[in-house]
């Protein structure tokens, strides 16, 4: 350090000039680096941002859940709570009216309803016997009264008439009790409504079940086409296409469907039922009764003067609803007039041209350079 001080003291002018050269070199170097960074930043900003845009081909279909309803398959349920005393075997062939399951009140197999039915049957038989004997007695009394002409005859005949009606009433009452007891006893037995095969069994002997619990699935001997029922809103139902492709996704396989019927009035919570059937009944895809599958329904083309766009593409600015579009190489907003909502889509009746490319990216700002993502 002492030598450097001596040099500066001996050559002050030279040292000063050398220091100026070094300072100018540092300033020039930092300026060059700053310009390079600025150029790189400008180059980055000059590149348009890739943004997601609306695919026009995707607007003519909607996805809904549909329930499979097979006319040839039925799920049998418990009509009373209790304990399973008897149950058919899976795969068993059963005839119409055959017992598939029996639900008792106790684990020993007894049933209050069956006991009551037996008592009612005995009471009916007893009442039928009494009714027959009473009829004979009343006939004899009526014959004896007819042989006299006294004034008491009219009163006696009315009395006999009342006794006959009471006799008939007691018999009819016993029959009704018997029928009611039979109906209650029948709740314990689940029978086959048609001839077919036991497709599935959900319970075992000794299981405790509740009323309405599924017991088994019965497949008819003669199989029918599977139907699917979907429920859509009024606007969706009005725009469903009968000619466009409609299909279901079942276990990763696309199964073509045909629209059979579209309800003209709401049937379930204000929704309209859409009935579909499998185009190829011989399809190898297993479609079980009661299962839910995703169905793709086709919509009709846009009406004249409107465009269907995703709800997510609509923003609300200070002047009302607006949509961002690509104009040239930048993003611009346009005010729009909205129509009815159809699922995840909404109708735009004014503000959009047919050729406008709609931006879905909601982070885009007005004037930003953008390009449609491939």
> Are 200 and 317 within one domain?
no
Overall domain count for the chain: 5
Are the C-beta atoms of residues 333 and 274 closer than 8 Å to each other?
no
Last residue of a domain, one of 163, 187, 211: 187
What does the pLDDT profile of the chain (374 residues) look like in tens digits?
556 566 656 666 666 667 776 777 777 666 666 666 565 555 445 588 888 888 766 656 778 888 887 767 888 889 889 999 999 999 899 998 889 999 988 888 777 777 777 887 888 888 888 888 888 887 777 777 666 656 666 667 777 777 778 888 888 888 888 787 777 777 888 888 888 889 889 999 999 999 889 999 888 877 666 788 999 888 778 778 777 788 888 888 888 888 888 888 888 778 889 988 888 766 656 777 778 888 988 877 666 667 888 888 899 988 899 999 999 889 999 999 998 877 677 888 888 888 889 999 888 999 999 998 87
The residues, ordered by sequence, that sit 6+ positions from 212 with a Cβ below 8 Å of its Cβ are: 77, 78
* Domain match, 175 and 148 both: yes
In this prediction, residue 309 carries a pLDDT of 83
Q: Are residues 169 and 201 in the same domain?
A: no
Domain of 230 in residue numbering reads as 62-72+225-298
From 223, 246, 279, the end of a domain falls on 223
User: Are 358 and 232 in the same domain?
Assistant: no
> End of a domain among 298, 319, 338?
298
**Are 217 and 84 part of one and the same domain?**
yes
CA 189 to chain centre: 31
- Gap between the Cα atoms of 347 and 309, Å rounded: 6
Clarify whether residues 167 and 199 are in a common domain.
no
Same domain, 334 and 232: no
Q: Give dist(CA 80, CA 99) in Å, integer.
A: 15
Q: Are 316 and 322 in contact (CB under 8 A)?
A: yes
Asked if residue 247 lies in contact with residue 62, where contact means CB atoms within 8 angstroms, the answer is no
195 & 183 share domain = no
The count of residues in the chain is: 374
Looking at the structure, tell me whether residues 91 and 215 fall in a common domain: yes
The answer on 339 and 203 residing in a single domain is: no
User: In whole angstroms, what is the distance from residue 75 CA to residue 198 CA?
Assistant: 10
* CA pair distance 353, 358, nearest whole angstrom: 10
Note the pLDDT of residue 321: 93
DSSP bridge partners of 73: 219
Same domain, 123 and 180: yes
């Amino acid at each position: 350090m002492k030598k450097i001080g001596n040099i500066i003291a001996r050559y002050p002018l030279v040292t000063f000039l050398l220091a100026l050269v070094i300072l100018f070199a540092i300033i020039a170097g930092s300026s060059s680096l700053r310009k390079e960074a600025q150029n790189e930043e400008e180059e980055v900003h000059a590149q348009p941002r890739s943004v997601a845009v609306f695919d026009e081909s995707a607007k003519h279909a909607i996805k809904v859940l549909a329930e499979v309803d097979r006319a040839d398959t039925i799920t049998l349920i418990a009509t009373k709570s209790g304990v399973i005393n008897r149950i058919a075997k899976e795969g068993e062939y059963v005839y119409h009216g055959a017992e598939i399951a029996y639900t008792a009140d106790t684990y020993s197999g007894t049933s209050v309803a069956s006991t009551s039915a037996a008592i009612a049957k005995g009471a009916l038989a007893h009442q039928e016997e009494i009714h027959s004997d009473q009829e004979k007695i009343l006939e004899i009394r009526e014959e004896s009264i007819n042989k006299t002409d006294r004034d008491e005859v009219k009163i006696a005949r009315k009395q006999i008439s009342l006794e006959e009606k009471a006799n008939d009433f007691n018999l009819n009452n016993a029959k009704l009790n018997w029928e009611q007891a039979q109906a209650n006893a029948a709740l314990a037995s689940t029978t086959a409504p048609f001839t077919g095969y036991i497709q599935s069994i959900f319970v075992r002997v000794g299981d405790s079940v509740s009323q309405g619990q599924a017991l088994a699935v019965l497949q008819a001997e003669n199989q029918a086409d599977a139907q699917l029922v979907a429920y859509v809103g009024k606007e969706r139902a009005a725009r469903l296409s009968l000619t466009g492709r409609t299909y279901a996704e079942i276990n990763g396989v696309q199964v073509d469907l045909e629209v059979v019927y579209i309800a003209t009035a709401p049937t379930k919570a204000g929704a309209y039922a859409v009935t579909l059937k499998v185009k190829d009944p011989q399809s190898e895809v297993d479609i079980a009764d009661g299962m839910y599958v995703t169905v793709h329904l086709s919509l009709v083309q846009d009406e004249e003067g409107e465009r269907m766009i995703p709800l997510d593409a609509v923003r609300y600015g200070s002047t009302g609803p607006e949509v961002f579009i690509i104009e040239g190489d930048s993003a611009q907003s346009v005010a729009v007039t909205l129509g009815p909502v159809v699922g995840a889509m909404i109708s735009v009746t004014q503000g959009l041209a047919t050729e406008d490319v709609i931006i879905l990216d909601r982070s885009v700002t007005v004037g930003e350079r953008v390009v449609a993502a491939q």
